[in-house]
Amino acid sequence: MDYPSLTIDSIHAGLRDKAFSATELAAEAIRFAQASNQEIGAFLHFTPESALAAAAATDARLAAGEELLPLDGVPVAIKDVIMTEGVRTTCASKILENFVPPYTATAVRRLEAAGAMMLGKANCDEFAMGSSNENSAFYPVQNPAAPGRAPGGSSGGSAAAVAAGMAPIALGSDTGGSIRQPASFCGVVGVLPTYGRVSRYGLAAFASSLDHIGPFSKNVKDSARVMELISGRDPKDSTSAGAPVDDYVAALDGQVKGLKIGIPKEYFAEGLDPEVGARIQQAIQALEKLGCEPVEISMPHTEYAIATYYLICTAEASANLARYDGVRYTRRSEKGGDLRAMYRDSRHEGFGKEVTRRIILGTYVLSSGYYDAYYRKAQKVRRLITQDFEKAFETVDAIVTPVSPTPPFKLGELTADPLAMYLSDIYTVTASLAGICGVSVPCGVTQTEGLPVGLQILAKHFDEARMLKLADAYERTGRA
């Protein structure tokens, strides 16, 4: 078997044809992923026992002549901000270095119920804060598609695991771009579901009004399959939506003729790397050839999106991260001293620089003298950004943009300049603020250096079916 190239279809074909058993597949998955990890760093820890146990259950089903479950035999990587019962979940932070959660996230439960085998926990930026995976408290991740370059973040480990063939499927989280941007940097597919589409029960909260769980895969169809499984109401997450879940795989019928594609001019202005721009223009032409109709639109509040996002997400983070106090599940400072000193030292020792910066900024913008000037103002601008989208979707079916203004940057290139790092999120935070869905689909590589470029397709709330249909139709043009 050529493990690194496997997809759900080829895994199921192999299992049915008895080319390999699930147990053989699991053993090869563990071997390959562990060997590759020394170079790539995509995983923080492995869970071979759970992979082998799931594989044994799959083999038992096969032996009994039962139908395969949707993810039977499919190895998955789970971002380490997503809880897994009995398996260390660190959020890539020293403060949770030894935390073993007593429960499993709903999204993971649903994958496991569908037969998936968990291979391990994926590296990421600490508490999902970052755009390069360099804020992991443990080690950085190499971009398998661009050596020496960042895999993107914060779900860099999940994206790299899929790009390197270590796992055909991974779960990540996206608050301001953390699925779409690493997918784009690593040349894989990554989906941001609509806010509320996928239960966040068991996702460590960063910014609750913006957090999502979503899949990574090698192709659109595999992400569509995972979306069918993890979407839908969960009584354990009061923000999960009851809207019916469409049959996303059936939606991939290639019928995109006549769809109106909005091209927001603000996303193609100053700051966009010309080589990235060229790839995106080519992708738009490919969609046009398929019968889509590109329409220039304007999203006038785009320029305020970074400021708005970094006020709201830091405010929410400062509240959410208050729970890591050294008393309960967090690592406690050994310095001793009174209660206040214990809180202070535990948090100081446990949180990295970026997390600390955000807690301070978020506390500041929520403080009584500044609340109106910053936090409330940001909420109002968030509304205006959402209205830009609502207005656009009155005339177009989907919006197409770059995912990132640049191709993957070099590891270390932006770490000294947090603002430059924040600015790289310019094209992803808008959809997050509006709560709509998005996908990053590979659209080739830059001409001079061969670096991956991702195409972002955005659709209105709960319109994942149409969004995935377009992404799949576009992906097929590359395969033809």
- The residues that touch ligand GLN, with contacts defined as CB under 6 A, are 128-131, 154, 173-178, 206, 313, 425
CA pair distance 96, 332, nearest whole angstrom: 10
Structure tokens at 473: 């139709």
Contact 401, 267 (CB under 8 A): yes
Active-site residue flag, 469: no
Full DSSP string of 124-186: -SGGG--SSSTT-SS-----TTSTTB---SSSHHHHHHHHTTS-SEEEEEESSSTTHHHHHHH
- Note whether 439 and 251 are within 8 A (CB): no
**Closer residue to ligand GLN in complex, CB, 74/306:** 306
Least separation in angstroms between residue 187's CB and ligand GLN is 19
Q: Which residue is nearest to ligand GLN (CB)?
A: 178
Catalytic residue selected from 21, 79, 94, 424: 79
199 is an active site residue: no
Spot the catalytic one: 158, 178, 217, 240: 178
Tokens of 447: 């001409």
Nearer Cβ to ligand GLN (26/82): 82
Tell the smallest beta-carbon distance from residue 385 to ligand GLN (Å): 16
Minimal distance in Å, beta carbon 438 to ligand GLN? 12
User: From the candidates 36, 154, 155, 223, which is the catalytic residue?
Assistant: 154
Residue 230 · residue 194 · CB < 8 Å: no
What secondary structure letter does DSSP report for 455? Answer: E
Nearer to ligand GLN, 154 or 240 (CB): 154
CB of 124 to ligand GLN, least distance (A): 8
Q: Which is nearer to ligand GLN, 28 or 413 (CB)?
A: 413
422 or 474: CB nearest ligand GLN? 422
Please say if 79 is a catalytic residue. yes
Decide if 88 contacts 98 (C-beta within 8 A): yes
* Phi-psi sector, 309: left (phi>0), alpha (psi -120 to 50), beta: alpha
Q: What's the distance, Cα to Cα, between the start and end of the chain in Å?
A: 25
Q: How far is the CB of 175 from ligand GLN (least distance, A)?
A: 3
Phi, psi values for residue 203, rounded to 5°: -95, 125
Q: Return the structure tokens found at 42.
A: 């995509």
Give the integer Cα–Cα distance in Å for 220 and 250.
12
Residues with catalytic roles? 79, 154, 178
